[in-house]
């Protein structure tokens, strides 16, 4: 990272943090999609944000100047940093009362950065990247195609991180224009962004995914396509994390459900690909508002997709929900798992009224562990011991389990075989087995998740003992 750049200052501030920032590498094409999606949300949202951007060079601002004239109509104030190319300050958008240009010196490290920072009363969003140096490209060298240029950084909706970065950016602007910095600081203090609602997040994420999908994917080589797909999945993961954070009664639900589901999968000796799919479904299992969102760029597409279930011979045309996930081929199986987590073992659940083994296995696992986790969480504030909490939560599950006998199929909610497996896991938890709760690590990898356990040997030993019994 360039010394003195906004990205480097943020990294330094978090170098010893308990929550280190995770960075990725993004192609220019991906960043254009991300920024356009977030900018378009400004145009459709009722809030009036402050917007701080860095365009590297004035010529890139000129390409977006007309667009920023429209954004200015919906914004409290816009500050644009870029190298002082000729004529960029003469564009009519630059004359608007709530738009200020900051001409960066050629030696300023921020002139190598690409930023979009949005602070509104209802949500926050940020793209923060720095272009790779010639040395970073190594043997491949600097790309000849503009859209193959690479940037190192992050994007997020997290309010505290966006607020912190905005302060760093405003401090940098102060070196050039103290009056503008003071104005932006006053706006930032007055706005006081809150944690985005699930409805607002669903709109933003839907737009991000749409832009990533409708970009130039068909004409790009494989590496660029992977970059786009990775960021589509990141959009959903970020939304899921924010929704968990907004639930003060159960803020770790997704991560804890994943830990339980993965261990159940290992106890059942499921193949790695199935556990990986179950893990992602666990992380996303609470994104119901997202499931109801239509495609922003192609309205109506969220209700027309009929999918063949990957774990079941049945087709489910009944649910318009989960369609945003289904628009991504790599997430269709995950969408199906999430959709059918509300089926009941006795066939009285939704959306398709599937019964018994007709329900996809991962959906049955997800439904059971999500319910168990919620019952454990409900009792955490009680005077009960660890052993008692697990025992009572398990008993809640047993009260809703079905019956293995075929003539008693219409008994209840959960797969009795899975409840039996859960009881073995609970025995391990009561004896001190610790399931590490991990948040997903985002990167440019296709699945973006680190599957390694901190205490892998302990879990492997417990599973081995179970399989011998």
Instruction: Indicate if the pLDDT at residue 297 is higher than 50.
Output: no
Q: What is the pLDDT of residue 231?
A: 56
Q: What is the mean pLDDT of residues 377-390?
A: 88
CATH (one of 3.40.1010.20, 3.30.870.10, 3.30.470.20, 1.10.357.10) for 6-194: 3.30.870.10
Fold topology of 248-468: Hypothetical protein af1432 (1.10.3210)
Domain ranges of the chain: 6-194, 248-468
Instruction: Indicate if the pLDDT at residue 33 is higher than 60.
Output: yes
More confident residue, 456 or 177: 177
Determine contact, residues 438/450, Cβ cutoff 8 Å. yes
Q: Residues 6 or more apart from 463 whose CB is under 8 A from it?
A: 263, 266, 267
Q: Residues 6 or more apart from 274 whose CB is under 8 A from it?
A: 265, 361, 362
Which of 158-167, 290-299, 445-454 comes out lowest in average pLDDT?
Answer: 445-454
Instruction: Indicate if the pLDDT at residue 357 is higher than 80.
Output: yes
Instruction: Indicate if the pLDDT at residue 209 is higher than 80.
Output: no
Q: What is the pLDDT of residue 180?
A: 96
Instruction: Indicate if the pLDDT at residue 219 is higher than 60.
Output: no
pLDDT digits (tens, 9 = 90+) for 113-163: 999 999 998 888 899 999 888 787 777 777 777 777 888 888 888 888 899
Percent of the chain past pLDDT 90, that is, above it, reads 30
Average pLDDT of the chain is 76
Instruction: Indicate if the pLDDT at residue 1 is higher than 70.
Output: yes
Q: What is the pLDDT of residue 316?
A: 46
pLDDT digits (tens, 9 = 90+) for 314-328: 444 434 335 455 555
pLDDT digits (tens, 9 = 90+) for 41-57: 899 888 899 999 999 88
Instruction: Indicate if the pLDDT at residue 178 is higher than 80.
Output: yes
């Amino acid at each position: 990272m360039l010394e003195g750049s906004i990205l480097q200052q943020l990294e330094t501030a978090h170098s010893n943090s308990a929550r280190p920032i995770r960075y990725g590498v993004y192609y220019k094409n991906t960043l254009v999609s991300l920024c356009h999606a977030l900018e378009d949300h400004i145009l459709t949202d009722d809030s009036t944000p402050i917007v701080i951007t860095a365009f590297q060079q004035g010529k890139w601002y000129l390409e977006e100047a007309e667009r920023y004239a429209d954004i200015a109509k919906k914004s409290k104030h816009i500050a644009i940093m870029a190298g002082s190319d000729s004529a960029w300050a003469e564009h009519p958008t630059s004359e608007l009362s709530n738009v200020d240009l900051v001409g960066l010196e050629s030696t300023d490290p921020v002139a190598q950065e690409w930023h979009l920072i949005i602070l509104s009363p209802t949500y926050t969003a940020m793209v923060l990247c720095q272009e790779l140096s010639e040395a970073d490209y190594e043997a491949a060298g600097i790309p000849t195609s503009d859209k193959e240029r690479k940037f190192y950084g992050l994007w997020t909706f997290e309010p505290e991180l966006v607020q912190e970065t905005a302060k760093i950016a405003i401090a940098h602007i102060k070196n050039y224009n103290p009056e503008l910095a003071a104005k932006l600081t006053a706006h930032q203090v007055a706005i006081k962004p809150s944690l985005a609602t699930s409805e607002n997040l669903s709109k933003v994420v839907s737009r991000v995914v749409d832009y990533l999908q409708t970009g130039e994917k068909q004409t790009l080589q494989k590496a660029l396509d992977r970059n786009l797909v990775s960021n589509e999945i990141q959009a959903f993961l970020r939304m899921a994390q924010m929704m968990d954070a907004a639930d003060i009664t159960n803020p770790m639900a997704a991560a804890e459900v994943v830990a339980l589901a993965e261990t159940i999968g290992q106890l059942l000796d499921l193949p790695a690909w199935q556990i990986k799919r179950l893990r992602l479904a666990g992380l996303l299992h609470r994104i119901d508002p997202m499931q109801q969102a239509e495609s922003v760029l192609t309205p109506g597409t969220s209700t027309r997709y009929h999918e063949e279930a990957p774990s079941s011979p049945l087709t489910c045309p009944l649910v318009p929900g989960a369609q945003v996930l289904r628009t991504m081929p790599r997430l269709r199986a995950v969408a199906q798992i999430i959709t059918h987590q509300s089926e009941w073992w006795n066939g009285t659940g939704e959306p398709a009224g599937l019964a018994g083994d007709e329900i996809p296995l991962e959906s049955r696992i997800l439904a059971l562990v999500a319910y168990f986790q919620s019952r454990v969480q409900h009792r955490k504030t009680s005077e009960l011991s660890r052993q008692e909490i697990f025992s009572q939560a398990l008993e809640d599950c047993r009260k809703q389990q079905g019956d293995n006998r075929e003539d008693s199929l219409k008994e209840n909610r959960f797969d009795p075989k899975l409840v039996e497996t859960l009881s073995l896991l609970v025995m391990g938890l009561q004896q001190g087995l610790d399931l590490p709760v991990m948040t997903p690590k985002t990167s440019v990898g296709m699945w973006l998740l680190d599957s390694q356990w901190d205490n892998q040997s302990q879990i492997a030993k417990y599973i081995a003992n179970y399989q011998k019994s």
